[in-house]
A = this chain, B = another copy of it.
Amino acid sequence: MSTNHYDTYREDAAGRANVEDSPELVAYYRELEQLKTGALWTVANKIEPWQPRSDSVPVLWRYRDLREHVLRSVSLVTPEKAGRRVIYLDNPGRREVAAAVGWLYSGLQVMHPGERAGAHAHSSSALRFIMEGSGAYTIVDGHKMTLGVNDFVLTPNGTWHEHGVEDDGLPCIWQDGLDIPLVNALEAGFYAVHPDLQQAVGYPVDDSPGIWGAAGLRPQHAGWTRRYSPLFKYTWEATYAALQRYAGAQAHDSFDGALMHYTNPIDGGHVMATIGASMQMLPPGFVGSAHRHTGSFLYQVAKGRGHSVINGQRFDWQERDIFCVPSWAWHEHANASGSEDAVLFSFNDLPVMEKLGLYREEALADNGGHQPVLPLVSG
């Protein structure tokens, strides 16, 4: 803190630092700085807040706003020059680390039929959620997966992976989700380009869901020791059917309707070491209560329309829109339709919160469990 004032963070409360600057103290502080040290009481209240303060702000990115810009990138840059044609979501509070929310990155990528991106590997965990088009595929360590709209696919940390669209497909747009900001912050990121730029397909197409995608059954020869799911692809068709069965089998959660987490069939846990993902159904007429919890969340509307109130701001969303909920932000979701369900895909850093013992949640007790909505709505 090279500044003239060292008593910015004073608080008048028992157990908190409350030391006023004096010439003698300021001189002392400057000596400490020479020794690459500081006096804790000058920063204690700043670095030990009473509760989490997120740098991220709630944002809704409307697909109708973004789509043309994404498509325009095709004419503006070549894949060879750009690497990948991606428009990333840049949270106003997180521009320094290029995060959509918290330590999570998100971008919309476009690819034309016949195109194929180069294969690479990195320490970041990544996922794709298909938004439009046909003929998309992803190859992970030699396993090729065919992808349709609302399919969810993993490209976990350390794997060689690449994406493409078949010659007879249609232009595809998908959301990329990664923990790039987190891995950079943890100073643990490695990046590599495949020596052949492209990798060979070494297994039957869609073998991963063929081997690992059966409910309540696992292959005789597992032999899997990686820290991420061997099931790389989760189809919309099976996921939506599962949500419907689940919604019929038990009462809805007052916050999230019927929510299922994508899992690693090896151990029933999160799909990757640092990123979790979920799909949730808000039944017709659903109006959820508000709660808040640690962890950062990015939502994409897979089906239907509705709104969410996040820290008092109302965001109206429809299919393909993306919005974020920062850590410890109050949030509640509602389905706008009384006859159709709405379905939200989301990914998050829950595995980090849980493994590090930092998950905490709280329901809103006041006002019938609903936030007062601020008059001005921003998008």
Contact = CB atoms under 8 A, between A and B. Distances in A.
A229 to B, nearest CB: 8
A87 interface: yes
A285 to B, nearest CB: 20
Contacts of A24: 76
Contacts of A246: 210-211, 214, 217, 219
A16 interface: yes
B1 A193 contact: no
A306 B222 CA distance: 27
Nearest to A274: B356
Size class of A's contact patch? 35 or more
Given A15-B118, A82-B41, A86-B41, A48 B191 contact: yes
Contact of A188 (B81, B84, B220, B360): B360
A187 B39 contact: no
Contacts of A105: 47
Identical copies of this chain, number: 4
Nearest to A124: B48
A358 B294 contact: no
Contact of A274 (B85, B216, B242, B357): B357
Contact of A77 (B19, B72, B95): B19
Contacts of A263: 216-218, 265
Interface stretch (A129-137, A249-257, A312-320): A249-257
A375 interface: no
Contacts of A265: 215-216, 263, 265, 268
A88 interface: yes
Interface in A278-334: 278-280, 294-296, 326-328
A73 B39 CA distance: 9
A13 interface: yes
Contacts of A123: 358, 360
Contact of A81 (B41, B81, B98): B41
A8 interface: no
B184 A49 contact: yes
A234 B216 CA distance: 7
Contacts of A194: 15
Interface string A344-361: 000001011101111110
Closest 4 interchain pairs by CB?
A210-B249, A214-B242, A15-B193, A40-B86
17 contacts: A17-B81, A33-B90, A47-B97, A47-B180, A47-B181, A48-B189, A51-B189, A102-B187, A103-B186, A185-B185, A188-B358, A188-B360, A211-B245, A216-B238, A217-B279, A264-B268, A274-B357
Given A208-B249, A213-B215, 4 more contacts: A41-B84, A219-B259, A228-B357, A263-B265
